[in-house]
Chains A and B, each alone.
Chain A
Amino acid sequence: MKKHKSDEELLEQIISNNSPHEAFKELIEKYQQPLYFHIRKILLDHDDTDDALQNTFIKAWQAIYDFKHQSKIYTWLYRIATNEALSILKKRNRFSFFSKDSQAEEWIARLESDPYFDGNEADLKLQKAILLLPEKQRIVFNMRYFDEMPYETISEILDTSVGALKASYHHAVKKIENFLQQPLNLDKIT
């Protein structure tokens, strides 16, 4: 497996104009998968996810000199990706006149026929329960439950306090468990 340079080395290479494209390509290779699945869990559809992911990296390239070292590149990229996903979600909701429940049903039907969805009936039911959550709770739940991301990192990405995130996650878990009528397997991620 290819060993990547550190984020700081790659950033330095880009900013000092020392083969910046090569360094940026390495940055893409390093983060494309976690970012893809982060966006995909919000948008569900592969094509929309692909658009949002490409926009994420293009915007990161355009703004890389503005990057403040107050956060890590990783959290900065996650923040751009989340915003991109949310703006696609907003556009999508703007043109929908259906209730949240009907929209969830519609998306579950689309997932069932999606060639890039490999889940079983339980996965589909879980996705429907997640779709019924408010936007913020949905994102927090995905980042915590699927990606097992520490609250401190989620806090940096979403610019929300750890306390508020814990409350959001707790409410999300309760709603999902009520919907599924069974407890979730939370392992060690409560």
Chain B
Amino acid sequence: MNQKYTHKRQPFTVPDGYFQQLPNNILQQINEIPPSQSSKSLFIIAKKQLALAAAFISFVFISYGVFHFIYNSVKPKQNITQQTFDDIVLANVDESDIVYLLTTDIKPEEIKPETLENILLDETLNDDIIYNDNLNQ
């Protein structure tokens, strides 16, 4: 026979003995689980702080991106003119030329611009790069 709930307008019933057995059924399941201390993950503890940190990092990245976008779109050629002589040479000169220059007996003060030009003006180096405005700075 089913147990009827006592509320005057409740049409729902439960199986016999359901409420007598339920506490023990639940206790069987939770017996192996310690109360919350162990279930408190770092995420739960520091959720607010992590959210703030994530928001701050996102803000920094977005600001950086926006700054670079605006900077590059306003002054597209400025980055090129800031390139140093070293950058251009290292990117275009063959390593063997540099080794030759460093190991040769010629002292640095004795190297004339034309000599240096002859050494570097190998197949690998483009004339345009040598004679562009950057080298005049």
**Interface of A with B (CB < 8 Å)?**
14-15, 20-21, 24-25, 28-29, 32-33, 36-37, 40-41, 46, 50, 53-54, 57-58, 61-66, 115-120, 123, 127, 146
Complex CA distance for A37 and B14, rounded to whole angstroms:
10
Q: Which chain B residues lie closer than 8 Å to A33 at the CB level?
A: 5, 19
User: Would you call B29 an interface residue if the criterion is a C-beta within 8 Å of the partner chain's C-beta atoms?
Assistant: yes
Q: Are A37 and B36 neighbours in the complex by a CB distance under 8 Å?
A: no
Q: Which of A20, A63, A116 contacts B14 (CB 8 A)?
A: A116
A-B contact list, 8 entries, CB within 8 Å: A15-B35, A28-B22, A37-B10, A61-B33, A64-B36, A66-B36, A116-B14, A118-B12
Q: Are B27 and A25 neighbours in the complex by a CB distance under 8 Å?
A: yes
In the assembled complex, the CB of B45 is this many whole angstroms from the nearest CB of chain A, namely: 10
Q: Which chain A residues lie closer than 8 Å to B24 at the CB level?
A: 25
Complex CA distance for A93 and B7, rounded to whole angstroms:
29
Q: Are B23 and A119 neighbours in the complex by a CB distance under 8 Å?
A: no
In the assembled complex, the CB of B73 is this many whole angstroms from the nearest CB of chain A, namely: 47
9 more A-B residue pairs beyond the given contacts A32-B22, A32-B23, A118-B2, with a C-beta to C-beta distance below 8 A: A54-B22, A57-B26, A57-B30, A64-B35, A65-B37, A66-B44, A118-B11, A119-B11, A146-B10
In the assembled complex, the CB of B63 is this many whole angstroms from the nearest CB of chain A, namely: 35
Q: Tell me how many residues of B have a C-beta within 8 Å of chain A.
A: 29
Q: Which chain A residues lie closer than 8 Å to B10 at the CB level?
A: 37, 146
Q: Is the interface of A mostly helix, strand, loop or mixed?
A: helix
**Interface of B with A (CB < 8 Å)?**
2, 4-5, 7, 9-15, 18-19, 22-27, 29-31, 33, 35-37, 39-40, 44
Complex CA distance for A33 and B20, rounded to whole angstroms:
11
Given the interface contacts A21-B27, A32-B23, does A65 sit within 8 Å of B35 by beta carbon? yes
Q: Are B12 and A40 neighbours in the complex by a CB distance under 8 Å?
A: yes
Q: Which residue of B lies closest to A124 (CB)?
A: B11
Given the interface contacts A21-B27, A66-B44, does A123 sit within 8 Å of B2 by beta carbon? no
Q: Which chain A residues lie closer than 8 Å to B7 at the CB level?
A: 37, 146
